[in-house]
Structure 1
Amino acid sequence: MSAPKDTLAISAAARDALQTWLDHQRALKGAAENTMTAYRGDVTDFLAFMSVHHGQMQGLGALANITVSDMRSWMARTRGEDVGSRSLARKLSAVKAFYRWLAEREGFEPTAVLSARAPKFTKKLPRPLAVDAARELIDCVEIQTATPWVAARDVAVLTLLWGCGLRISEALGLQAQDAPLPDVLRIKGKGGKERLVPVLPAARNAVEVYTRLCPHPLPDKSPLFRGVRGGALSPGAIQKVMASARMQLGLPASATPHAMRHSFATHLLDAGGDLRAIQELLGHASLSTTQAYTAVDTVRLMEVYNSAHPRA
């Protein structure tokens, strides 16, 4: 039951149904590629488990007859692989989404799958950096390497994360034709949702320094940020240099590239920024996500509410 996933067979019908569902998610809901990859892996793992659990490949008819006991067995096996509560909840969410769609298409009752309860877990709030710590991190990153263009590149990326609130994937997704940066960037975020992000002079200047020093050709429609050998810069390279700077400064492990985005939002709010405007800048669908993202407490939230509401 614990054989490697790539050796577990799922039926052609189940495989085709999964692909059709993934295509549906991509076309109608604009799911991001990272999300699609996670969906595929999670549901494939579930279907493969059921094949082994029942001793034969599961066609659509068999999948329609999954029981509560089957679900418990899958969840127990997944837990036994040292999968944490958060990851198991994500996997279960993907399986349920697939089953809702499959049940509607095939006309069966998916209660056994949909009634499975995700394990409880404590949601960790993001930890933004203090303003001084964010500045010190960028200054420290600049001296992590003796190669001037690499140092300029790392500073430019981190300045975009902190100064514009970009996700690391969004910063690394910029193309050479985006430079020199305009006053406002059009960013395509999660789910293909577009937003407009003002560009601070510090971010524009950092990118200009990098492009001037970069030894690699930067033709239009090619990645703006390059690795040492000239290929597209990977998130791991930025994570590594930031981890080194973090250790030198004695900052906690939570001081990651993504924490710079948290810091962008929190520092704007602390300076009197409007929570709804910050939501738009971050590209969040829900205001509650922005509230958690900025680690804003209830008192501060009520201050914003009371000062902005027309009946205050």
Structure 2
Amino acid sequence: MSPVVDSHLHVWAGKEETASFPYEPGREPPESLAASTDHLLKTMDLCKVDKAMIVQPINHLYDHRYVSAALRSHLQRLRGMLLANPTATPEEAVLELKRLVSDEGFSGVRFNPYLWPVNEEGLGTMNDEVGRALFDACGTLSLPVGFMFFQGILHRLGGEPAPTHADDAVALMESFPDTKVIFDHFGFTNKFESPEAWRRLLQICDAFPQVYVKVSAPFRVSKNGYPYDDIFAQQLNELLRVVGAERLMIGSDFPFVQEQEGGYASHISRELLAKVNGITESDVNAIMGGTADKLFFKV
């Protein structure tokens, strides 16, 4: 059986660690959320999760030292996804990306479109000079790019005529097909709330075999709440048919999942996947960890 791999979570400095690893001013986390590396590892052990991919948290912005320290101490269990800096020049952004990969052990890159600068009309796109340079470098270095489309794949930075997030993703993949792509949290799409966005997500997944989808943080997209029958009984069923289990990965969005009904253990759960009609044991093993293990740990 494949290891259980949490494909999406965050850690940040605990109170006692902030002297060495300060938060980005204005981006301090809620005091109610415990998210230190030690707390994560204890939670993983308790819930029998073998490995995890840490996504650089917004709380530390482009200061990757806290996650770097976690990777150095626990490289057998943890991998890291760095946060791309679109405010730097293309040369500076790519240079820092390469440093974080070679010196700090990161093995993936997050594109957060809401960090991209906008032009004088207030419009923005990830398919700009720095975005293209970073995306190209990711393909060369075999680094998957995780898209964090918090406002949905049809959102436009600044409104029309800016491209949608989906348009940006497609343009980048067409230009640099060697770069693997991950849509976080079901693409932040609920098929019942936005059928158009859901159809667009499925079209992209079908057209581009380099696309993966994180079956993660269902509390961010479900309208029914735990145990998320709208997501797992119906939405995941379609994803499995179009994408296949070999491109799907379960994820918790720790520490935020700790505030949800069922907590961490119930969100990294084979029982959630069992709601999918016709799902096989092989499919479950892939989604629970096989896919993420191959993508993040066996490179």
Structure 1 or 2: more helix by fraction: 1
Structure 1 or 2: more strand by fraction: 2
Per chain length, whose mean CA-contact separation is higher, i.e. which structure has more relative contact order (CA < 8 Å, sep 6+)?
2
Q: TM-score range by the shorter chain?
A: under 0.3
Report the TM-score when normalising by structure 1. Answer: 0.23
